């Protein structure tokens, strides 16, 4: 693992595939011009807002999203995370799928989100992700990159389930991805503290690209894409506007924190 720059992209995706992919391309270009070698897009980067429209276009969205990720990674010679897009299943629903792509356009790792957001919030909004999404059945993978470190995948609501990240840590994760479309209501209280906890307890970097703003008349995301170091220090925060934040991933910092706080070696219950 070497020192390198990573980018967390913050988007305001809409129920408009072409608009979203154009926005994503502009932000990838901005990240690369700032030196990023690892670029991470948020959950629902290619389509967000209207569930019926998403399901009607799911096959088109899936094909366009995967082609986009492979084209962008190859064009810019980067490792690129697509934090979540719908992939149709034979069950009539979709998998919320995160895809990691390498600089030659090859698929490195794929993860189908296992924890689905079925929640009735106090602000009156109800989210039933399971109505259209089929939960994945496999624990998220690690991609072992010699240059970028051991990269662990997850998606959004997964962040509330620490056992998933402990699994990734046990598998050797050094960098954790948490691409999200966190609701504005829950995000203001829980987003930052949950991400810091996952970084601290697993002594890993956390890269959390995010959605922000309104996506339709009902749905609003919190924003604040973050990159956090293994001590839990916030390296960069995107605020509430679309854009890109960049931070350096330093193997020496990872080693320092794990040497000073070797909690992963002190576990009693495994």
For 143-158, the pLDDT digits (tens) are: 999 999 999 999 999 9
Can you read off the two tokens belonging to residue 77? 């010679």
Tell me what pLDDT residue 269 has: 87
Tell me what pLDDT residue 27 has: 98
Evaluate whether 155 touches 43 at the Cβ level (below 8 Å). Answer: yes
Q: Is the pLDDT of residue 124 over 80?
A: no
Catalytic residue among 70, 112, 113, 204: 113
pLDDT range class, residue 100, cuts 50, 70, 90? very high
pLDDT range class, residue 175, cuts 50, 70, 90? very high
Q: Is the pLDDT of residue 191 over 80?
A: yes
Tell me the mean pLDDT in the region 239-260.
Answer: 98
Tell me what pLDDT residue 76 has: 98
Whether 43 is catalytic: yes
Tell me what pLDDT residue 122 has: 86
Whether 113 is catalytic: yes
Tell me the mean pLDDT in the region 24-28.
Answer: 98
Tell me the mean pLDDT in the region 179-205.
Answer: 97
Whether 40 is catalytic: no
Catalytic residue among 43, 51, 112, 174: 43
Tell me the mean pLDDT in the region 95-100.
Answer: 98
Can you read off the two tokens belonging to residue 37? 């070698």
pLDDT range class, residue 4, cuts 50, 70, 90? very high
Q: Is the pLDDT of residue 30 over 90?
A: yes
Catalytic residue among 37, 51, 66, 156: 156
- Domain spans in the chain, listed from the N-terminal domain onward: 4-263
Does CATH number 3.40.710.10 belong to domain 4-263?
no
Tell me what pLDDT residue 135 has: 98
What average pLDDT does the chain have?
97
pLDDT range class, residue 104, cuts 50, 70, 90? very high
Quick one: which H or E segment has residue 62? helix 58-76
Where does 89-242 show beta strands of DSSP type E?
Answer: 94-101, 107-112, 118-120, 126-128, 142-145, 149-152, 175-177, 205-208, 210-214, 220-222, 226-228, 234-237
Percent share of the chain, pLDDT over 70: 100
Q: How far is CA 37 from CA 25, 46, 54, 63, 116, in A?
A: 15, 21, 31, 24, 30
pLDDT range class, residue 126, cuts 50, 70, 90? confident
- End-to-end C-alpha distance for the chain, whole angstroms: 27
């Amino acid at each position: 693992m070497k020192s390198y720059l990573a980018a967390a992209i913050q988007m305001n995706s809409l129920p408009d595939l072409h608009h979203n992919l154009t926005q994503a391309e502009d932000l990838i270009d901005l990240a690369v011009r700032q030196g990023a070698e690892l670029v991470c897009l948020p959950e629902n980067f290619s389509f967000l807002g209207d569930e019926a429209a998403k399901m009607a276009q799911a096959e088109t969205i899936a094909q366009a999203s995967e082609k986009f990720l492979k084209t962008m990674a190859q064009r810019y010679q980067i490792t690129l995370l697509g934090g979540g897009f719908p992939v149709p299943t034979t069950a009539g629903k979709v998998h919320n799928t995160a895809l990691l792509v390498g600089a030659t356009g090859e698929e490195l790792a794929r993860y189908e989100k296992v924890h689905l957001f079925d929640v009735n919030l106090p602000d009156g909004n109800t989210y039933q992700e399971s109505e259209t999404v089929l939960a994945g059945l496999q624990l998220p993978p690690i991609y072992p990159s010699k240059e970028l470190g051991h990269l662990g995948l997850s998606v959004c609501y997964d962040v509330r389930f620490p056992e998933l990240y402990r699994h990734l840590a046990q598998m050797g994760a050094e960098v954790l991805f948490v691409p999200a479309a966190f609701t504005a209501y829950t995000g203001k209280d829980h987003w930052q503290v949950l991400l810091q906890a996952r970084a601290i307890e697993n002594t890993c970097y956390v890269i959390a690209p995010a959605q922000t703003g309104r996506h339709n008349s009902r749905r609003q995301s919190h924003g604040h894409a973050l990159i956090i170091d293994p001590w839990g220090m916030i390296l960069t925060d995107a605020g509430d506007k679309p854009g890109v934040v960049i931070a350096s991933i330093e193997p020496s910092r990872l080693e320092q924190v794990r040497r000073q706080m070797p909690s992963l070696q002190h576990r009693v219950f495994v």
